[in-house]
Amino acid sequence: MSSNQPTIETVLKSLNIAALNEMQQTALQTIQKEPNVILLAPTGSGKTLAFLLPILEMLNPEQSGVQAIILSPSRELALQIEQVFRSMSTGYKVNCCYGGHDISIEKNNLIEPPTVLIGTPGRIGDHLRSGRIETAAILTLVLDEYDKCLEFGFKDELKYVIEQLPNLTKRILTSATKSATGYKNTGISDPVTLNFLNKTAPKNLKVRVIETTEKERLEYLFRLICKIGNHSTIVFCNLRDTVERISDLLWDQQLPNNIFHGGLEQDLRERTLIKFRNGSHRILVTTDLASRGLDIPEIEYVIHYDLPENESVFTHRSGRTARMHANGTTYLLVSDRESIPEFLKETPATENLPSKAVIPQPTEWETLYISAGKKEKISKGDIAGLLMQKGELKKDEVGIIDVLDHASYVAISRPKVTKVMKLIQNAPLKKQKVKIEVAR
């Protein structure tokens, strides 16, 4: 733990952020003063930093043990929050606990407890029941996307966790929507609500309709994706089975893609998001699990293969694009048996598709898997060094590097993959023998 409390100015410098936006400034000032705060703000507006900065100011560098717990409804969101806190370079220890993660690693991490503990309600509850978390110094609790925590069936776990934290002086709830159920079962009372939700669609979001039939729905999706070309695209479906079926059919049409839904193992979900973020795949077929909380930047197009069930679902799906100051387009596939959703205030323009589809060229990146990570003391610099020295890659031919607990992934120039794999075959990484292969 750092003996020098970092300032907001030094944190923003670490994050390469010039200034906080209006929502973040208001949240910082309010959370500093008020014991109970509900923060409502759209996906992509910077809510994570909005509650991490005031938490940082409340941490005591002389106090040992966990001082703040942050709960999230999904593993991916918990990991994202952890990554943001690490990027703040505060000097404080932070750990993340979630279902699907190796519990032995988490047990070892908790032997020397972090100052900030992030996780899903179920896994945090498990550690509390086993007595691995001392609660005396925990003064701050954040329920991120609290309505989703309740919706995902964490009501009992949330209640248990909250009951184990008798010394709380600060409770913060965040959401990207105004929950119909309010804040019941969260332990918060008389909160100050900061509402930055904009009821109208962003000015930089275009909404378009693709008129189709049920029989031709998939064909029209294929033609639309081909028209979009090599741009980042998320295809939303209502059911997991639909996600699997569409993905298989797109692969059959030579359109590489990844899938994401709650039925996948954690390592596959992580790999999917890594390959989508680093540009190895430009198409993500998913359920509404990917509509909130995930850090997937620069999405240009959103496709509603299945119509959203209500305005809230439409808002969160479409919120994946046109974030902050970027432009984006959201498409609705509407069959002759369906109607354009009534919640759209204006009738969207119809998008015309070319009669002949031209399959986009492959992306410029391919992802390599490496069988070592943080726990083997592997860093991004170690991986970049191996690829540039032994693999003879130039700096601009090495893309995004992700280092997990016991695995790493790196994007490299697709045309160089075969040559690189030959050059680094059996090469040690930091004097360790590792497996390196193209990530599938």
Residue-wise pLDDT tens digits, 414-432: 999 999 999 998 899 999 9
Q: What is the mean pLDDT of residues 201-227?
A: 89
Q: What is the domain partition of the chain in residue ranges?
A: 8-195, 205-350, 365-438
Residue the block writes with tokens 């540009």: 279
The correct CATH number of 365-438 out of 3.30.1330.40, 3.30.70.270, 3.30.70.330, 3.30.1300.10 is 3.30.70.330
Residue 1: predicted pLDDT: 42
Residue 182: predicted pLDDT: 63
Distances (CA, A) of 14 to 59, 87, 402: 19, 7, 19
Residue the block writes with tokens 């059996």: 426
CATH topology of domain 205-350: Rossmann fold (3.40.50)
Residue the block writes with tokens 């925590």: 149
Confidence of residue 299 (pLDDT cuts 50, 70, 90): confident
Q: What is the mean pLDDT of residues 336-362?
A: 90
Residue 43: predicted pLDDT: 74
Residue 45: predicted pLDDT: 79
Asked if residues 361 and 230 have their Cβ atoms less than 8 Å apart, the reply is yes
Amino acid (1-letter code) at residue 420: V
For the cut 70, the answer to whether the pLDDT of residue 5 exceeds it is yes
For the cut 60, the answer to whether the pLDDT of residue 324 exceeds it is no
For the cut 60, the answer to whether the pLDDT of residue 120 exceeds it is yes
For the cut 90, the answer to whether the pLDDT of residue 258 exceeds it is yes
Residues 51-107: tens digit of each pLDDT: 999 999 999 999 999 999 999 988 888 998 998 999 999 999 999 999 888 899 999
Give percent of the chain above pLDDT 70. 94
pTM score, whole prediction: 0.74
Distances (CA, A) of 3 to 60, 134, 340: 9, 22, 58
**Is the Cα torsion angle 225, 228, 233, 238 positive or negative in sign?**
negative
Angle at 268 between CA 428 and CA 93, to 5 degrees: 70
CATH topology of domain 8-195: Rossmann fold (3.40.50)
Residue 4: predicted pLDDT: 67
Q: What is the mean pLDDT of residues 386-410?
A: 95
Distances (CA, A) of 77 to 5, 118, 120, 293, 332: 26, 10, 9, 5, 27
Q: Do domains 8-195 and 205-350 have the same CATH topology?
A: yes
Query: Residue 30's CB: how many other CB atoms inside 10 A?
Result: 17
Nearest Cα to 237, choosing from 254, 255, 249?
Answer: 249
Confidence of residue 2 (pLDDT cuts 50, 70, 90): very low
For the cut 70, the answer to whether the pLDDT of residue 203 exceeds it is no
